[in-house]
Amino acid sequence: MIAHVLRRLWLWFERMYLVYVVDRIVLASSIRKFYRVAAGHIYFQALAAGVELDLFTLLDDEGSKSLAELSKRLELELQPCRILLQALTATGVLQRKRGKYANTIMSRIAFSSRDPRNLKATILWQKHIVYRPMAHFLESLREYRNVGLEEIAGTEATLYERLGRHPKLEKIFQDSMQEISIQANDLLARYVDFGKTRLLVDVGGGNGTNLLAVARRHPHLLGRVFDLPSICEKANQHFEAERMADRLSTIQGNVFTDEFPEGADTFMFCHFLCIWSKDQNISFLRKAYEKLPVGGRVIVFDIMENDSGDGPLAAAMGSPYFIGLATGTGMIYMKSEYEEMCRQAGFTRTARVELPREHTAVIATK
Ligand SMILES: C[S@@+](CC[C@H](N)C(=O)[O-])C[C@H]1O[C@@H](n2cnc3c(N)ncnc32)[C@H](O)[C@@H]1O
C-alpha cells in the first residue's frame, strides 16, 4: 500500500517536474517569440531614438559607458535614459557588462556612423516615412490599395511621385535607397557579367548608385538612368560629383507613359519590379524586349522570395510596405515568378545568379 502511494507520488512528481521543464523550455521560448513579433513597433522606436541620438557612434568612439555617463552625454534624465537602454539591451541591440552599456557586433556594424556598412539612413526612412502609414495595413489588405499613403500629403497615386512635393522626405528616401543599394550593388557589379554590355539603361535607377558601381567596375560601358524628372536631376548631380558625367547620364521618363530609349543592349531593373503588379511588370519587361537587339538582356536585381515561400525575413518587411504605402500593387516576388514574368514578356532564356544579402539577379536574354 505504502509502496503504491509512494509510486503514485513519484509519478505525480515526475509529471509535474516534466510539466515544469516543458513550461520552462517550450513556453518560455514561445513567449520570447511572442514579444519579438508583438512589440516590434515599440522596439523599433527605441532603436530609432538610439540612431537619432547617435548613441551607437558614441559607444563606438568612446567604448562602454554607465547609465549616468550616457544620461549626461545624451542629455536625457536618468530614468528616460534607463528606459531607452533597457529596451535596447533586452532586444540585443546593446549589451550590458559590469554595469556598463556597450555596442554589440550588430549595432557597431549597422548603426555606428564609423562603419561604411551602417544602415542608419534606412532606420530614418522607416521612422519618418514608413512607420505611420503602416498603421493602416489592415485597411490596405482589405481594400488592396496603399491606404497608408494618405498619411503623406498629396494626390499622386504612388509614394515615389508624391515624394516630389516633400523635398525633406524625398532626401530621406533617396539616402536610404542609396545606402541599401551601395551595399547590394557591389555584388551586382562583381558577380553579374557585363563584359558584352555597351549601353546599359537602369530603369527606375534612382540617384544612379547602381549604375555608378557597375560603370566603375566595367569601364567600357555607358549608362543611362531612366526615372522621374525630379530624380533624374539628383542622378545628374551625382554623376557630376563623381566625375562620371562623360559616361553616365539620365533620360526623364515614366515607365507607364513613355517609350524606353533606343540603342540599349541591356536594361536593368533594380529594386523596381517589386513595386508593381505582375501584369505591370510583364508590360515593362515587354517594353524592354521590344527595344533590345537579339542577344540583348534584362537584369532583374532585387531581394526575392525563396521558391519554397518561407522567407527570407526581408520579404516580410518589403511586401507589406509595397502594398501598404509605396504603390499598393507590388510585393517581394519569388525568383521563379520573375523568371516566368520574363518568359511571358517574350524572353526565351533565363538564368539566375544567387547573391549574398538575400539578393538575386535574374537574367533574361532575347
Ligand atoms: C525603390 S526605388 C529603387 C531605386 C534604384 N533602382 C535602387 O535600386 O536603389 C524605385 C525607383 O523607381 C522610380 N520610379 C517610381 N515610379 C516610376 C515611374 N512611373 N517611372 C519611372 N521611374 C519610377 C522612383 O523614382 C525610384 O527611383
User: Residue 152 is part of a domain; what is its CATH number?
Assistant: 3.40.50.150
Here the cell at position 283 is 508590360
Pocket test for ligand 1, best of 130, 175, 177 (most atoms within 8 A of CB): 177
Q: How far is the CA of 251 from the centre of ligand 1 (A)?
A: 13
**Pair 334, 278: CB distance under 8 Å:** no
Between the alpha carbon of residue 344 and those of residues 63, 202, 272, 282, 340, the distances in Å are: 56, 21, 18, 7, 6
Instruction: In whole angstroms, give the CA distance from residue 190 to residue 46.
Output: 36
Model confidence over 44-94: pLDDT tens digits?
Answer: 999 999 999 999 999 999 999 999 999 999 999 999 999 999 999 999 999
Domain count, the chain: 2
Of ligand 1's atoms, which has the minimum distance to the CA of residue 230?
25
Task: Give me the phi and psi of 356, to 5 degrees please.
Answer: -65, 180
Residue nearest to atom 19 of ligand 1 (CA): 254
244 and 320 together in one domain:
yes
Listed in sequence order, the DSSP H helices in the chain are: 2-22, 28-38, 40-52, 55-62, 67-74, 78-90, 105-111, 120-125, 137-143, 159-162, 167-191, 209-217, 229-241, 278-291, 313-321, 335-344
Ligand 1 centre distance from Cα of residue 272 (Å): 6
pLDDT at 167: 93
Predicted TM-score of the model (pTM): 0.89
List beta partners, residue 103: 94
Cα–Cα dist 279/268, whole Å: 18
Give the pLDDT score at 124.
98
The per-residue pLDDT for 26 is 78
Give me the average pLDDT of each 10-residue run along the chain (366 residues): 80 73 80 92 98 98 98 98 98 97 98 96 98 98 98 96 93 90 87 96 94 96 95 94 97 96 97 96 98 98 95 95 97 98 97 90 97
Angle at which helix 40-52 crosses helix 55-62, to 10 degrees, equals: 60
Residue with the smallest CA separation from ligand 1 atom 4 is 206
Range of the domain at 203: 126-365
17 CA → ligand 1 middle, Å: 58
CB atoms within 10 A of CB 147: 21
Per-residue model confidence (pLDDT) at position 287: 98
- Residue 28: inside a domain, yes or no? no
User: Quick one: how far is CA 185 from the chain centroid?
Assistant: 13
Q: Is residue 27 part of a domain?
A: no
Residue finishing a domain among 95, 118, 141: 118
Q: Which atom of ligand 1 is nearest to the CA of 180?
A: 9
- 145 φ, ψ (degrees, to nearest 5): -155, 165
Span from the CA of 190 to the centroid of ligand 1 (angstroms)? 22
| Pocket of ligand 1 from Cβ distances under 6 Å | 158, 160, 177, 181, 204-206, 209-210, 227-228, 231, 254-256, 270-272
In 3D space, the residue among 213, 178, 215, 190 whose CA is nearest the CA of residue 200 turns out to be: 215
| 257 CA from centroid of ligand 1 (Å) | 14
- Which ligand 1 atom is at minimum distance from the Cα of 269? 6
What pLDDT is stored for residue 276 in this prediction?
96
Same domain, 112 and 151: no
CATH number at residue 83: 1.10.10.10
C-alpha cell read off for 208? 544612379
Query: Pocket of ligand 1, candidates 176, 192, 230, 231: which has the most ligand atoms within 8 Å of its Cβ, to mutate?
Result: 231
Q: Each residue of 307-357: pLDDT tens digit? A: 999 999 999 999 999 999 999 999 999 999 999 999 999 999 999 999 987
Nearest CA to ligand 1 atom 3: 271
Element (H, E) at 134: none
Q: Which of 62, 86, 118 is the last residue in one of the domains?
A: 118
296 and 241, same structural domain? yes
Burial annotation 217-227 (CB, 10 A radius, 16+ → b, else e): ebeebbbbbbb
Number of Cβ within a 10 Å radius of residue 250: 25
- Please measure the distance between the N-terminal and C-terminal CA atoms of the chain and give it in whole angstroms: 87
Mutate to test the pocket of ligand 1, among 272, 281, 317, 322 (most ligand atoms within 8 A of CB): 272
Q: Which of 118, 144, 174 is the last residue of a domain?
A: 118
